[in-house]
Amino acid sequence: MFKTVLIANRGEIACRIIRTAKRLGLRTVAVYSEADAKALHVKLADEVHAIGPAAAAQSYLAAEKIIAAAKAARADCIHPGYGFLSENAAFAQSVADAGIAFIGPPPSAMLAMGLKDRAKALMEKAGVPVVPGYHGERQEAKFLKEKAYEIGYPVLIKAVAGGGGKGMRRVDRHADFDTALEGAQREAQSAFGDARVLIEKYITAPRHIEMQVFADTHGNAIHLNERDCSLQRRHQKVIEEAPAPGMSAALRAEMGNAAVAAAKACGYVGAGTIEFIADGAGGLKSGGFWFMEMNTRLQVEHPVTEAITGLDLVEWQFQIAAGEKLPLKQDQVPLNGHAVEARLYAEDPERGFLPSTGKLIALKFPDGEGLRVDTGVTVGDEVTPFYDPMIAKVIAQGKTREQALGVLANALDTTIVAGPRSNAGFLAALCRAPQFRTGNFDTGFIDANLDALGATPQGLDKAAAALGARELLTRERARIADQIERDADAARSPHTSPWDADDGFQLSGPRRQIVPILADGEKVTAQVMQEARMTTVTIDGIAAAADAVAAVATSDSVYVLRHGRQTKVAFRDLSLDEGGDGLGGGTVRAPMHGKVLAVLVDEGASVTRGQRLAIIEAMKMEHTLVAPLDGTVSEIAVTKDDQVAEGAKMIVIEATKD
């Protein structure tokens, strides 16, 4: 076994690897960028090395810096985690050339399976079923469009070097192909440095089912059962579970045999995942699944496999890389109960799941039987625009699927995330969705049920806002009382209070008052009834919520968490115009921190509502900004390649006059 491991990653996966490594007696070495100097994985490691600026290209993707750190720390192995360099064959080779063990497959296996076109050709040769499509070398737009027509719509355009939904577009009409191809190629080039794509038939009721495989250097290969990853948004997995609903033992064996054949065909070693697309229409069935791709690394969702097997997959990775044989044979692999994992992200489901950055003012996870939480952040940490905005993975286990989903939904209900917005409420709604509960779902389930899942604008939660106002008032009373206690003359001295901005609010005697507040940036008034020591607060007749999970106070505001949603409440200073910038509805602002990829209009141009204006990139995903109204472009405040902050003015449109 190894003595020292360098983890070439960050966040929750780095923390998770450190835990197993320490249990095995390994010395742990972490690397970090300037943005991660105080990160949790840095605090947990035995030794740390700085590797550069916040930008991943200059730090976590800088192979030479990571190898130099490993040499300096005298590490005898490097674990890449997932993402970043984990599937980079050149990096794996450089690690081996440096005399350091790579905790992962050989570079040859990465090369064979890393490019989707080559992988599909290899699978066809090995007898593994493959989705019909074009996987060749020709990349001319006209030729690819012809192939899409021959395959028959709908089709998927997929980046050859892709993963995580990047560089992927579904196309339903021949007329839409050119625009979709352009977007997929641009996104693929940005994310992977390779704009090449393939075209394949889109399965209309697809289930995404993957098999966890392991292989050793002695010619042995097995699978550790399947995971269902069909709940996706923009091809990004949201909730994963094991085993797959509706999976029979016979079909598991059939799919497992195909997965093992795929691993052996590329000379695989270590942990990997064979991803299949299955036709979910009428239920899972023999012959109704096809190879999509292989992930030559550990998966984000590996904890659900650990839960149903009782195995530590990271420990297995170390053992295999050290030359040991697989600990179990195929017929010895356990399958006990059911496990479900939810990816808790700093994002806003009501605004198209845009990433939400900022300081984690409060963070608390539930603890109980059947629960596991993998996280890489703590209270006070910043969710930055530089990396994936995952806060944690919440994993629930039960004897049955129904029990596991119930445990997970309750855990998400009581999870506290204040500061950045989170998708906790959306995830809980998914866990309780009737169709998902009964196993009647496919990869399009989320997009087809956004309203029911609370993933469309919900409007201000007035009960939460009223509670926030009450908390602000209570704190203000305490502040004034403390001031009076400290200074006997304070009662006769004028004091500054937000309440004075309205009508000289008094804190004694029964009285009904109107108090101006800002709730999620919206100007509202709270009606306050003060009698004796009891304060009643309402907004538009709606009383303060009694079922909020938490009300977290900062120096100038209160964050109320209710039903997984966050409402920020603050006093409103009537001398300021906090309700907007006075520029009207024609101002188009950056919806998140990101990079301007393209500006599609010129000043003076006439535009119509919904017309594409600009493209901004965040977290390696593209977001198109459109005109909110008909009018004329009067100002363009950004140019291509600009870095913009959330809320920054980008384009101003003057409305067309009737």
The CATH code for residues 337-454 is: 3.30.470.20
pTM of the full structure? 0.83
Mean pLDDT (the chain, rounded): 91
pLDDT (mean) for 247-262? 97
Q: In this predicted structure, what is the pLDDT of residue 620?
A: 60
pLDDT digit string (tens) for 55-112? 999 999 999 999 999 999 999 999 999 999 999 999 999 999 999 999 999 999 999 9
**In 532-620, which ranges are E strands?**
534-539, 542-543, 550-553, 558-562, 565-571, 587-589, 594-599, 606-607, 612-618
Q: What are phi and psi of 354, to 5 degrees?
A: -65, 140
Whole-angstrom distance, CA of residue 271 vs CA of residue 326: 11
Q: Which residue, among 369, 308, 375, has the nearest Cα to 344 in the 3D structure?
A: 375
CA atoms within 13 A of residue 260's CA, in its CB half-sphere: 17
Q: In this predicted structure, what is the pLDDT of residue 619?
A: 62
Q: Which residue, among 162, 170, 169, 232, has the nearest Cα to 191 in the 3D structure?
A: 162
Whole-angstrom distance, CA of residue 163 vs CA of residue 299: 12
Fold for domain 132-201? Answer: Dna Ligase; domain 1 (3.30.1490)
Whole-angstrom distance, CA of residue 463 vs CA of residue 540: 10
Q: In this predicted structure, what is the pLDDT of residue 529?
A: 87
Catalytic residues: 297
Whole-angstrom distance, CA of residue 621 vs CA of residue 234: 10
pLDDT band at 166 (very low <50, low <70, confident <90, very high): confident
Whole-angstrom distance, CA of residue 82 vs CA of residue 234: 20
Whole-angstrom distance, CA of residue 614 vs CA of residue 635: 13
Tokens in use for 119? 């992988």
**Domain 4-103 belongs in CATH node 3.40.50.2300:** no
pLDDT band at 460 (very low <50, low <70, confident <90, very high): very high
Q: Which residue, among 646, 649, 651, 597, has the nearest Cα to 624 in the 3D structure?
A: 597
Whole-angstrom distance, CA of residue 478 vs CA of residue 470: 12
Name the CA radius of gyration of the chain, rounded. Answer: 27
Whole-angstrom distance, CA of residue 270 vs CA of residue 218: 11
pLDDT digit string (tens) for 342-393? 999 999 999 999 999 999 999 999 999 999 999 999 999 999 989 999 999 9
**Beta-carbon neighbour count of residue 319 at 10 Å?**
19
Whole-angstrom distance, CA of residue 158 vs CA of residue 143: 15
Res 501 pLDDT > 60 = no
Those residues whose C-beta lies under 8 Å from the C-beta of residue 594, and which sit 6 or more positions away, are 385, 616, 617, 618, 623, 643, 644
Q: What is the largest CA-CA distance in the chain?
A: 90
**106-131+208-336 with 337-454: one CATH topology?**
yes
pLDDT digit string (tens) for 604-641? 999 998 899 999 887 666 788 889 889 999 999 999 98
Pick the CATH number of 587-655 from 3.40.50.720, 3.40.50.410, 2.40.50.100, 3.30.56.10: 2.40.50.100
Whole-angstrom distance, CA of residue 296 vs CA of residue 319: 17
Q: What are phi and psi of 529, to 5 degrees?
A: -110, 115
**Partners of 553 in beta bridges:** 558
Range in 201-205, 619-623, 650-654 with the lowest mean pLDDT = 619-623
Gap between the terminal Cα atoms of the chain: 77
3 state SS of 647: coil
Residues in the chain: 658
- 203 vs 558, more confident: 558
Element (H, E) at 293: strand 289-295
Q: What is the residue whose two structure tokens read 């917005």?
A: 421
Question: How far out from the chain centre does Cα 455 lie?
Answer: 15
Whole-angstrom distance, CA of residue 226 vs CA of residue 82: 19
pLDDT band at 544 (very low <50, low <70, confident <90, very high): very high
pLDDT digit string (tens) for 120-147? 889 999 999 998 899 889 999 999 999 9
Q: Which residue, among 167, 317, 337, has the nearest Cα to 241 in the 3D structure?
A: 337
Q: How far is CA 126 from CA 30, 160, 257, 261, 616, in A?
A: 40, 20, 12, 7, 42
pLDDT band at 220 (very low <50, low <70, confident <90, very high): very high
pLDDT (mean) for 274-283? 92
| CATH homologous superfamily, domain 106-131+208-336 | ATP-grasp fold, B domain (3.30.470.20)
Per domain, the residue ranges of the chain are 4-103, 106-131+208-336, 132-201, 337-454, 462-487+499-571, 587-655
Whole-angstrom distance, CA of residue 174 vs CA of residue 180: 10
Tokens in use for 350? 């009501």
Measured over the CA atoms of residue 158, residue 164, residue 169 and residue 172, the dihedral's sign is: positive
CB neighbour class for 364 (10 Å; exposed up to 12, middle 13-18, buried from 19): middle
Helices vs. strands in the chain: H and E counts, helices first: 16, 38
Res 429 pLDDT > 60 = yes
Contact between 255 and 276 (Cβ < 8 Å): yes
Whole-angstrom distance, CA of residue 385 vs CA of residue 514: 39
